Structures are given as C-alpha cells and as structure tokens.
Structure 1
Amino acid sequence: MGRTRSIGRRPGWTAGPAHGHARAGVAAFVAASAALSVATVSLARADDALPQLFFGDLHLHTSNSLDANLFNNFTLGPDVAYRFAKGEAVQLPDRRRAKLDRPLDFLMVSDHAEYLGVFSMIRRKDPRVAGSETATKVSRFIAENPVFGPEQIGKLTSLLVGDPLGADPALRRAVWDEVVDVAEQMYEPGRFTTFVGYEWGSMPNGNNLHRNVIFRDGADRAKKILPFSAIDSGEPEALWKFLARYERETGGQAFAIPHNSNLSNGLMFATVDSAGKPIDATYARARARYEPVVEVTQIKGDSETHPFLSPDDEFADYERWDKTNIAGTARTLPEMHVGSYARAALKTGLLLERLIGVNPYRFAMIGSTDSHTSLATADEKNYWGKTANMHLGTDRSKGEFIHSSDPAGQATMNWEQAAAGYVGVWAGANTREAIFDALRRGETYSTTGPRIAVLFFGGWRFGDVDAGSSNVARAGYVKGVPMGSDLPAPIADQKTPTFLLSVAKDPVGANLERIQIVKGWVDAAGRAQEKVFDVERAPDVKGLREISAVWTDPDFDGAQPAFYYARVLEVATPRWNAIDATRFRRKLEPGTRVTQQERAYTSPIWYRPPAAAAGAARAAEPGSGKPAQASSAGQNAD
C-alpha cells in the first residue's frame, strides 16, 4: 500500500514558549519523562517561519447565556471563563475551586445572542431591567419550573417571542460592549488569545441550526455592530448577509461555525435552502465563504459519521446522540442522518460541485466544548459537566438531559454527555489574526479532548525518507500541502497522491492505537463513496507514543474528485462517568458506556480532477445560479 512507519523519531517539533515558560515538544516528551510536569503542550516546528500548534476552545457559554443561567450558572461571567482557560484557579458559587491541569492557548466566549446578558441582569436585579414585564414573566416561569431542560428552554423562548426587552437596542448595546471589553482586557497577544464572538441560535421546529460567529477583529470594529440573532432571522442565509455587511462596512472579517449537526434531523447539511429550493451556486458560494469550519465533536455528541451511514467503519459508533432533535420535539429517523454528519456532508459537497460548480460543504473540522459552566474543560478526569447543575461530585450521570416529547421517542441521558472537545490549530503566532487565518485556510483539526499533535500533508512525491525525517513538518511543506488544502496538479511521472502523517500522543494522555485515512469520492457512476484505510496500528494493546507514516492511495482514479482526512485513535480509556463511579463509590447506570477511544480528526485535503477544478473556478465567480439536484440516494459506503 506504499506506506512506512517511523516510531520514536522526532517529527520536527521543538519546544516553544507560551504562558511565560518553556513548553516541551512531543519529541522531548519521548526522550524525557520530565515533560510530564509541563503545564501545557505547545508544539513549535523547528523553523520559526513555520506555524506552531495551539489548542483552544471556540464554543463556551457563561452566565450571559439564557440557558446557562437557567441551569444554575448565575455568576460566572466571561472574565471567569478567560481566567480559567489561562490556567488560573477560579472559585465556584459553592466555594469549591476549579482549575485546568494545563492552560489553553485561546478561547472564544460564545454566549447566545438571543437575550444576551438579560437573564443574568434579572437574577441580580439590575435596575435596567428590574420591574420590567420581561423580568416579571421570567421570574414567574422560573418559580413554576424548578427543574430545567431543553424542553423548558423552548417553552420559555416561545413565551418571550415579541418581548421588547430582548430587542431593546440600548440594552443590547450595553451588554455587547461589555462582552467586547472583557475580551479585549483578557487578550495577551503571543501568550493567550481571546476572540470576540457569540452564538446564533436558530432552532426551527426544535431542529438544531446553531452557529458560532467568530470575529478576527477587536473593539474598534466589533463595537460597530450588534450581534445578529435568531430573533432577527432564523435563516442561515440572513446570517451570511449580516456577515458580508459587517465585512463591507467595517473592513473586518468574520465567519460562522455550525455545530451539533447530529441534532438537526438532517437540516444542517441539506441539499435545499431555507425556502426548500435546491441549492444553487449563489447559495453555495455564500456558505463556502462564511462557513469554512464545522465543529464536529463536543459535549452533545460526535458528528463525524454514524454507523447507519458508514456500516463498514468499525469506529463509526462513537458518542452518538441520535434519538431526537436538540429540543426533543421529534424523533431522529435513519433517513435524516445523511444531512446530519460531517463525512456525509463532505460527500454531498463533491456531488453538488459536479452539478453546480461550487462545493458548499468544503469545510475544516474542529472540536470545542459547548460547556455552559464557564469552564472550558474536555478532560475526563476533570469534567465539570455541561451545565452548572452537573458539577463534579454530584450524582450527575443520572436523569434525562433531553426529554423526548414524542411518545415513541427516547430520552438522551445525562451520562451520555461526552467530555469533549478542543481545537488544534497550526498558526504562525498566538494572535487573533494568525489563528483566525489558520482556521479559515483549514490548517486546523478536531480532538475529543486529548492534546494529540497531528501533522497531515498531501502531495505527489512523499516517500519513506520523509516519514523518517528529523523534520517532518519541513518535508511536508516543501513537498506538499497541509490539511485544509487542495492537492496541487499532479507532477509528471507521479500519478498517484501520497500523504504524509506524523502524530504524537498527548504527553499526559493515553498512547496511540492507530492512524487512519478516511477517503470519500464520486465514482464513475456519479455515486458518492467512502472507505477507511488503516495506515498504521500499534503492535500491541500498549499503543505507541509517536507514529509517522507515508500512505499512497491504492485505488486512486485521476478522473474522480475526492477528499482525504486523517483519523487518529488512542487506546481505550475510561469515560468520565466511570471515573466518577470509582472516585465517589457510586454505581453506574445500567447500559452506560464506560470506556472509549478518544480521537482526532484532521481537516480534509481535496483532490479535483483538472477539468473539474477549472469548472469550479468559473462557477466560483458570481453569475451562476444553476440549482442542485443532488439527493441522499447518491451516497453509498464502499
């Protein structure tokens, strides 16, 4: 299969400074166990001109979010969230202290735009809202509903439809300016990056269409707007128009990051627009421009793929949330999965590009937490729950998280929460501009929590010598392109693509069990196919600390468009609920999962046949409005 392995070699990473102290690279960890005492992992490539690896979270809620506040996060605001992410110990309302075992490099507080900060103000009887009709309605509803879940959130949201306080421009301006100011105060370029952002919470009929909006900019531009919320419009197309207007009027940059497609009941990656019309090139261009990244793993489950879609993938059944939509108002049916998972969406994108010349689903993949506790932790041993009423130490694995209002549906239980995930990004510096640009170009990947270091390159002339190189990163950039890129045109006499991977375990995490490449393509009959290839596996159950390999596609057809991404699996480890049971001497709920294989997914590398690439370049220009006719019937698993 044209592959090779280099174990225990240094893949070209060296120690890099961060948080005011030197941080050990992965290779140094292999050579010296002293690296285990280092507070966090930041991997810098040997050449300072090449990017460094940073880890962070782009999806975190504080007491400013309506639902976080209703779930008992009354007082932990954005300032606490940033301090926790920096590695500080923070005090919780119950007087306990919480602390990350290793600091993060960046964080975006993404509180819900809908009623941003209003419920926190009502709780503390802020004079700007005290005595208002909204405060009265909310206080009465809280008193009548002592236990909150997504169903109650939906009812309260419906109760507040048309409420003037949520649309009060003066109040919204005051809260938004405070949000921006805290992000500015906590930003330390080169040391810790904060992003201004928020969450847009569209949820038609209880189906999740949420997006997080991330800005490249600071207060000088971000304060010129107010967050565009689902109260303004629940259609993604309207959000993209807002982002375009922001860029046009301020000179800034922003994009949206969809998440929890697994709870959308097929709407997130549909082949029709919000009006039910087939996607055309205009829609596809806007989506590709303003949604270049998708969050594929987090607390509310994993959205890489599903066993129904990928029956031959033995690792497809991972942290599934597939019983209902996000509100529990409708069951999830098998035929909905094709529009709910990232791998299927990448395949749909190939089909759509053949039809309309533009791929709306050409996206990078990241993880984040979506924690509503203000605590950005994805560590199984230090998991503080999805919400503040599920903090460490409570009997939190019991009970329902999403109640199904469909009599034939099933509830999603609290123990099904996943302690996940984080973003890994290769950027030139720990700054807003550098990290944002790396995200947009796709040089980023998803991890379910462990800080696994992953390099993934595609090209036409990688060989065994590159996998064994003392500087894999340099070889990758010199001979190929990184994750998130299109393969360059084939080189003469090199007609089959080769891929260079170098992976190192989290220095304080589990060993590596295997690395794989997931390929999707459109065959000669016009059907989307997929296949998972094992590139390297550990020789025993102990696993490996590092793996470097070159892989050649054995089934490549230069006439067929394709994508490739790497998936890295750790050896099996206990889930947070099993750790809880041992720590607090509690019995596990019947039927619960107690182990898992944590993992990382890179962003894809795409191959376009020369003719298709030329056609796509023409279609990417404004003017083409040809509608798409792709359907789930065009998807197959090989």
Structure 2
Amino acid sequence: MRKILLSTAAALAVSGAAMGQGGGIAVHPEREAYYGDLHLHTSYSFDAYVLLGTKVDPDAAYRFAKGEPVDVLGQQVRRREPLDFLAVTDHSENIGVAREADIPGSAIAQSAWGRGLQADRKSLSTGFTSDRKGFLELLTKYFLGDKDQPQAVKDVAKSAWEREVSAANHNNQPGKFTAFVAYEWSSLPNGANLHRNVIFKGDKAPSPFSSLDSQNPEKLWDWLDQIRKDGYEALAIPHNANASNGLMYDWNTYEGRPIDLAWALRRAENEPLSEISQNKGQSETIPALSPNDEFADFEVWDTLLVSAQKSKPGGSYVRDALSRGLVLQKALGVNPYKYGIVGASDIHSGLSVSAQQDYPGYASGKPGVPTKEEATAVLNSANGASIANRLRGTSGNLTGIWAESNTRDSLYAGLRRKETFATSGTRLKFRFFGGWNLDSKLVSHGDWVKEAYAKGVPMGGDLPVKPGAAKGPSFAVWAAKDPNSANLDRVQIIKVWEEGGQQKEKIFDVAWSGNRSIDPKTRKLRAVGNTVDLKTGAYDNSIGATELKTVWRDPEFDPKHLAAYYVRVLEIPTPRWSTLLAIANQLPLPKSVALTEQQRGWSSPIWYTPKK
C-alpha cells in the first residue's frame, strides 16, 4: 500500500511555522496565513472505532499533522505537507469508551454495558465492508442512548478526556505547531445534524458538555457562558449544516419559537464561525438555492448523514444563512448568523489528509490508499445511502487563519475576529479587504497590505460608517496559487443583501486568468478550459494564473440595504480523488460523481450596515 508522502517543498519549509532569529517565535505585524484542521476524529470517537476500526489515538493524530512519521497497523505513514495547527475533536458522547471495552480485564470490559457492546459487535465488520444497518443500531443504543450511563462508563470517559487534553498540550509547540484542546458536541435530533465543534483557547478544559446532557444548542451556549465565568474561554463551530434538514440556520429556535433579540445575541457570541466545507460535502450553497451560480454543484451532499432522506435546503447552507442573518438583523437589530468561514476534514481515521490523491474513500480507518479490492468496493458504493455511499465523501478541507504568530493566543484571536478562510484542501492563499477610499491601484503598491489594514477592514470585519460623499464600498482582493497545486481560474465576490425583508444574492467575477471577457448577454465568464487527461489523471498548468489581484467597487450598491460580501477563489480543473483511485487500480471511471472538479477557497464576509 502506498505511503502518504511529504512533498519536497514542504520538507524544506513549513508555511507559517518558521522560528525567528535566536529561536524566538516569529511575529508577523501584517499577519501570516496559517493552515490547519479544526475537526478530526480518532479511535476515541465511538463511530470511528466501531465502524471504521480506527486505531490512531489523539497523540498520533497530532504527530501526523505535524509531519512526523506515524506507524498505523504496521505501516508507516507521513502527511504530504505538515499542518500549522490541529484540533482533535472526538465525539464527547461516551468518549474513549468503545476503545476501552476491547481491553481485556478493564472495568468497562467487565461491566454489563461493555459485555453488551462486545456481544452486539460480533456480527459487525469494520472498514470498507461495514454493516451499515448494524452500526446504526449500535450507534442508537450505545452512542446516542440513555444519558444515565453506568459509573464505569463515566469513569472511562473522564479518563479519556484527560488524555485528550494531555495529548494536545504535549504536542503544542508555540511558534511551530498549535494543538487546540477541543471536542465535538453531537446532537442529532430525528437524524438532523446539529453538531458543533467546541474549541478551547487555553491548556485546560472542563469535562465536555455532550448531547447526552442535552440535544438543544441553547443548552450548549448556557454551558459555554458558565465555563467562561470559571475561566475557560471557548467557542462553538457548527458543521455539516447541509445535513441539518433546515434546522442549523432556521428562522426559529430549537424549540420552535421565533428568534428574538436575546437568542440572536447569545448565538452570535458563542458561534462566531461556521464550517463551509468538509469531508461530507460543502455547505456553501446548492443549485436549488442558487440557480444562477454555475459553480454551486460542487461536492453536493444533500441528504441526512445517517440515511438517504433529503435534507431541506433552506436553512442548511451558509450563503442562505448569511442573507437570513441580514433579514433578522433588520428586524431585531442583531445578526445571529454573522458567521466567519472555516473548513475542516471531519475524517474519522485520525489522519488529517487534504490532498485529493491521498484520500482513500469515506469510511475507512486504514492508512494510505485502499487495495484494488477495497477500491472496487468504494467505487461501486453509489447506492444513495449516506454512510454506505463512500463516493460522496471527499478529502479533508482546511481552515486558514490570518494571525501574527502560530500560537494558541494568536490563532484563537484570529478565529474570534473571523479573519479566516476555508479551502477545499489546497493551500490557496488570499486576502480580502473592504473600505470606502481604497485606491484603485492599491494591490500594486509594495506595502499594500499595511495600507489596506490602515484604510479598510479585513475579511471578517464590518465596514465603518459610510462617509457622506462615498458612492459605494471598494474591495481589495489578492489570491496566489498553492505552489504544489493547480493554477487559478478566477476570483469572485459574492454579495448577499436584504431588500424589503427578502433575501438577495449576486455573483461578480472580479479577476480572472487569460484574455477572457464577460459575455454582455449572459453576464458569464467563459470557462477556463480543462487539461486533465482521464487516462492518466495528469493535468498541467498551461492555463490559469499563479496570482490574481484587483480592487473592485460594487456597481450596484444601495446604501439603504444591509449587505455582506465574501470571496470565492477557483482553481483550474483537476482530477477528483475517485478518478485517481479508479485510474490507479485500472478500474472503470465512476459515473455518479464528477471526474474533475475546480478546487476552491472561501473567505469570511465583510459586512455593511446602513447608518441609523
């Protein structure tokens, strides 16, 4: 089985992790982009251990993320490019318990609960040939079951959480690698995904609040409010809104009441960020919500996570949430969905991989790429069911944080101020500033970033009050390709706004490669082309650009309407992981998923509020 290889470029220099002279921590006054994963599961997560047979523990997960070689099931694996930061977010529900139940002589193995789990698992296989129905029965009984667990279960969970915290602290290396203490709260009412990842700022954390305590996110916020009084700073990040059946960004509260001011304030305080894309699909938008968006049909996962039931589109996607938030702000004075953007993997093998060529197919706890037999099972799995259809998953996504240094304090501050972006796995690098008097040639200035910070606000910020003479806001955008990936196709600015209580959106192509132009009739930019060879999986960078930059002014600005703007950067087409898997194993190309895709990045928005 092929090893996951570290690239030559990454071996020579880890982006954003360089130490300053004399061994001190490097500090970047104009901030640097740091790349990482805020959502990863190990053998301490019930589903990872029971369904996938995952053996990687939190310590090994952090070491793999740092670029160290890790031995997994007798194979040595190493990440293609080290990450700058990682949060292991194992499910808090019965954390570490299933793993402990397999240890002969342990208290949990000898308990009635543990013996029941072992008996029920006898007929359940793991990995690529998992019994989905049997797993769901186990999940309901042992993971989402009665909150009144035996004391032995509670003791094991407490010990496992202490080891999670210890692993993060042991692997944290200020200036080189940041390991966040974190976990996942896993509410799943009637199959609708309302999960949140809880990220702590410091090196200590209380025992997690889980969905066994409550499936209501408001109760999670209560707990976060309480622990802050006890000295613990943390935030929650919703994920997989695409599978929430419209509940993640609903017009109503969890209990069905219309959102009021107090609820809006509490959500905005506790959840400043939302995951826009990950292993189980993207949550930006889909064609049903954005029919005029030619790039909306990307990694669509439009069912619930544990069944083939369709997830209600409205209230399930970030773009929709951003405009809903503006409508609610107009009515309440506060925007509960004022989200910054992050990406993640949510991979359950303990190995956070983000390159398409390293992804083995959803539902595997094994390292490397699958064997031909396993690849055949993956490529033939398109049966519509979420867990069984492994073709629907994709490689891990990444969060980018603009911060002064690679430390917990600096990166957490970046998360809180929402100066963040997401990518579908590549290390795209881009800046986004907004202001009222940005020079049209700003991005050509040698010190343009310093000037942009002085005269405007970065991604995640609010435009200052509009000066009386200003006609409209202008936005400075700069994007550079991943040195180890594909060239850039285009940069888009996506605008959402509120008008008469209605949600509005429009997409603007603002910078692009080549000598293309926008068709005056269709208002669309001609496609960049496609160099992928479907026989070999190779592509070349003979099209596209290595860098794109511009200053764009909104030509349709109306000062009366609340608005938000975010950037989407698109690469030229490259082969999807499933295409590469088929080619490597001389198997037929899959027909149910795209053969090539345009990998991409999304920025946090910049918001405009009319002067009262």
CA distance in 1, matches of 2:406, 2:416: 15
1:27 matched residue in structure 2: none
Q: What TM-score, normalized to structure 2?
A: 0.88
Within the alignment, does 1:112 sit opposite 2:124 as a pair? no
RMSD of aligned Cα (Å)? 2.2
CA distance in 2, matches of 1:402, 1:179: 36
Structure 1 residue 173: Cα displacement: 2.1
The one of 278, 281, 284 equivalent to 1:301 is 281
1:437 matched residue in structure 2: 413
CA contact (8 A) 1:486 1:605 kept: yes
1:217 matched residue in structure 2: 202
Within the alignment, does 1:158 sit opposite 2:140 as a pair? yes
CA pair 140-56 structure 1, distance change in 2 beyond 3 A: same
CA contact (8 A) 2:38 2:399 kept: yes
1:86 matched residue in structure 2: 66
CA pair 475-401 structure 1, distance change in 2 beyond 3 A: farther
The one of 328, 335, 347 equivalent to 1:352 is 328
The superposition leaves residues 132-177 of structure 1 with CA deviations (integer Å, 9 ceiling, x where unpaired) of 1111111122113335466544322332322624884433321111
CA distance in 1, matches of 2:151, 2:318: 33
CA pair 254-535 structure 1, distance change in 2 beyond 3 A: same
CA contact (8 A) 1:338 1:344 kept: yes
CA pair 498-533 structure 1, distance change in 2 beyond 3 A: same
The one of 435, 444, 449 equivalent to 1:473 is 449
CA pair 179-37 structure 1, distance change in 2 beyond 3 A: closer
1:127 matched residue in structure 2: 106
CA distance in 2, matches of 1:565, 1:124: 50
More deviation, 200-209/144-153: 144-153
The one of 233, 237, 240 equivalent to 2:221 is 240
The one of 42, 46, 59 equivalent to 2:16 is 42
Within the alignment, does 1:535 sit opposite 2:510 as a pair? yes
- Stretches of structure 2 that go unaligned for 5 or more consecutive residues are 1-6, 21-25, 515-527, 530-542
CA distance in 1, matches of 2:356, 2:275: 20
The one of 334, 339, 345 equivalent to 1:363 is 339
The superposition leaves residues 275-294 of structure 1 with CA deviations (integer Å, 9 ceiling, x where unpaired) of 11111111111111111110
The superposition leaves residues 159-213 of structure 1 with CA deviations (integer Å, 9 ceiling, x where unpaired) of 2322624884433321111111111111111110000010001000111111100
Please tell me the residue identity of whatever aligns with 1:549: T
CA pair 327-369 structure 1, distance change in 2 beyond 3 A: same
CA distance in 2, matches of 1:197, 1:592: 33
Structure 1 residue 99: Cα displacement: 1.3
CA contact (8 A) 2:107 2:152 kept: no
CA distance in 2, matches of 1:570, 1:101: 20
CA distance in 1, matches of 2:347, 2:11: 27
Please tell me the residue identity of whatever aligns with 2:598: Q
More deviation, 35-44/506-515: 35-44
The superposition leaves residues 548-596 of structure 1 with CA deviations (integer Å, 9 ceiling, x where unpaired) of 1100000001111000000000000001111112222222233332110
Please tell me the residue identity of whatever aligns with 1:393: P
Instruction: Report 1 or 2 for greater relative contact order, CA contacts < 8 Å, sequence distance ≥ 6.
Output: 1
What percentage of residue pairs aligned between the two structures are identical?
Answer: 39
CA distance in 2, matches of 1:166, 1:308: 48
Give 1:39-438 correspondences, 5 Å limit. 39-42=13-16, 48-93=28-73, 95-125=74-104, 127-146=106-125, 148=130, 151-160=133-142, 161-162=145-146, 164-165=149-150, 168-219=153-204, 222=205, 225-249=206-230, 251-322=231-302, 324-328=303-307, 330-332=309-311, 336-389=312-365, 391=367, 392-394=369-371, 395-396=374-375, 397-400=378-381, 404=385, 413-438=389-414
SS at match of 1:79: helix
1:620 matched residue in structure 2: none
The superposition leaves residues 477-510 of structure 1 with CA deviations (integer Å, 9 ceiling, x where unpaired) of 0110000011011234323100001111001110
Please tell me the residue identity of whatever aligns with 2:37: D
More deviation, 527-536/579-588: 579-588
1:570 matched residue in structure 2: 571
CA distance in 1, matches of 2:122, 2:151: 21
CA distance in 2, matches of 1:149, 1:458: 51
Please tell me the residue identity of whatever aligns with 1:177: E
CA pair 35-230 structure 1, distance change in 2 beyond 3 A: closer
CA distance in 1, matches of 2:431, 2:440: 16
Please tell me the residue identity of whatever aligns with 1:170: D
CA distance in 2, matches of 1:401, 1:476: 48
CA contact (8 A) 1:41 1:451 kept: no
User: How many residues align structurally?
Assistant: 563
Structure 1 residue 412: Cα displacement: 6.7
CA distance in 2, matches of 1:362, 1:200: 21
The one of 509, 512, 537 equivalent to 2:488 is 512
Please tell me the residue identity of whatever aligns with 1:567: R
Within the alignment, does 1:482 sit opposite 2:458 as a pair? yes
SS at match of 1:376: coil
SS at match of 1:425: strand
1:19 matched residue in structure 2: none
CA contact (8 A) 2:568 2:603 kept: yes
CA distance in 2, matches of 1:89, 1:537: 39
